[in-house]
Structure 1
């Protein structure tokens, strides 16, 4: 087999040239990072779980008419995605106060927000992905006003889908972040959800106990990250239910 060309390696994924023009192979690593990579570890099985969970969420979004870059899963760690031009922003949707919002505004974590709040961060690890306003985005040409209208619409549609999905399995969607990509059909441009959606990019709390089922388990040393992600996968049906202490197996 010919050696694949690596396009990019980030903190949690590696991107390779895809088998067909306009495609990319997205490989999920077991690496876990926090605080802009100040805290790092390798968590066995994390990449496999995130690959399957992101496949589950992206497929669901495609099925309800929210366009994503996801095409198909290739194996336990890789998926084929459509190549796109990433808008240099992280789009954060918050339903409850947590993390940096609580620190910035002094709001107790878990406080329900009066409505979903959408925030934007400029994607630059060296700068720590700083929070920016729509004025910054327009002034520096990162996205047009039409782009921002479309991005807001996509973000809120993803929030509606994920919130309902999680509520149905007893999980509270505190917040999440997504990335948006541009794809072109001739002169026509459209925006799609890109990157990944997984417990790495969401805050998920058990509705009854308040237990964290997301990367805060790693950030705050709250227990086993693999156990937390496995619980999310099991509730969503990505993992079968098991009796006793048998190690769960991923559904193909």
Structure 2
């Protein structure tokens, strides 16, 4: 991957900025140190978080690729900068749950920690103004965001990601409780995994820690005011680095 020249800002979200480059088939993503929760009602700056999430995401995107799962990832540019393919992002947040926790236990009569077999797939309309509501198939059809075939492919891809990540994390002593991903269409019309895969988007528990707070190595540390957010993300990166080769770098 050759070096690129940064262009104009295309989009800024809660955790990332996306820039055009001098190559039409490449955009640059800056991972920010901003931390948000509860639809950005809670905010903070956590120095180093952006770099950690970028480094973790790069390695996990390459892990998915090695397992035949397409992503938007191209290469790392700097410590907290990633080069990716431009995508038409589907405004649907895809959540896969292996263990009942968080919002699910507030919406259903199910105890936190209950194993979910098979894993539960939830789709949410990604729009803060509407509170990211849960989508039924009928609502998804009404919004005309995806065809029936594309909806099935979205589910298949999400479950393939889950199988890959769940096994990988277990091997490094982490339980993948649940995660959310975003998907997008490439210029060729292929549905691929986009955005990021990090402790911001995955609920991860240390399998060797029994305490329900101390085991948390993800964004719940920020949501629940547990402290040690950057340290927890650093522990995840350390384990991921130990199990993955160094990521591709632009030259």
Q: Does TM, scored on the shorter chain, surpass 0.5? A: yes
Indicate if the aligned counterparts of 2:5 and 2:21 stay in contact, CA closer than 8 A: no
Match of 2:116 in 1: 113
2:102 aligned to 74, 86, 99, which one? 99
Partners of 2:121 and 2:49 in 1: CA distance: 28
| SS at structure 2 position matched to 1:108 | coil
TM superposition shift of 1:19: 2.9
Indicate if the aligned counterparts of 1:118 and 1:152 stay in contact, CA closer than 8 A: yes
Partners of 2:241 and 2:40 in 1: CA distance: 31
TM superposition shift of 1:64: 1.1
Structure 2: 5+ residue stretches without partners: 244-248
Partners of 1:174 and 1:142 in 2: CA distance: 28
Partners of 2:126 and 2:143 in 1: CA distance: 13
Indicate if the aligned counterparts of 1:53 and 1:238 stay in contact, CA closer than 8 A: no
Sort the Cα spacing of 1:91 and 1:3 in 2 relative to 1 into closer, same or farther, 3 A.
closer
Q: Deviations over 1:88-125 (max 9, x none)?
A: 10000000001110111132221111210000000101
Matched, 1:221 2:225: yes
Match of 1:242 in 2: none
Indicate if the aligned counterparts of 1:122 and 1:132 stay in contact, CA closer than 8 A: yes
Aligned length: 237
1:52 aligned to 52, 55, 67, which one? 55
Matched, 1:207 2:207: yes
Sort the Cα spacing of 1:3 and 1:208 in 2 relative to 1 into closer, same or farther, 3 A.
closer
CA RMSD of aligned residues (A): 1.6
The ranges of structure 1 where at least 4 consecutive aligned residues each deviate by more than 6 angstroms after the TM superposition are none
Question: Quick check: 229-238 or 213-222, which moved more?
Answer: 229-238
Match of 1:30 in 2: 33
| SS at structure 1 position matched to 2:190 | strand
Partners of 2:174 and 2:52 in 1: CA distance: 17
1:17 aligned to 17, 20, 24, which one? 20
Greater relative CO, 1 or 2 (CA 8 Å, sep 6+): 2
| SS at structure 1 position matched to 2:7 | coil
| SS at structure 2 position matched to 1:7 | strand
TM superposition shift of 1:3: 6.5
1:4 aligned to 4, 7, 24, which one? 7
TM-score, normalised to structure 2, is 0.91
Partners of 1:83 and 1:145 in 2: CA distance: 24
Match of 1:247 in 2: none
TM-score, normalised to structure 1, is 0.90
Indicate if the aligned counterparts of 2:86 and 2:187 stay in contact, CA closer than 8 A: no
Partners of 1:79 and 1:150 in 2: CA distance: 26
Partners of 2:153 and 2:117 in 1: CA distance: 22
Match of 1:231 in 2: 235
Question: Quick check: 209-218 or 8-17, which moved more?
Answer: 209-218
Partners of 1:101 and 1:108 in 2: CA distance: 9
TM superposition shift of 1:40: 0.2
Indicate if the aligned counterparts of 1:204 and 1:213 stay in contact, CA closer than 8 A: yes
Indicate if the aligned counterparts of 1:31 and 1:42 stay in contact, CA closer than 8 A: yes
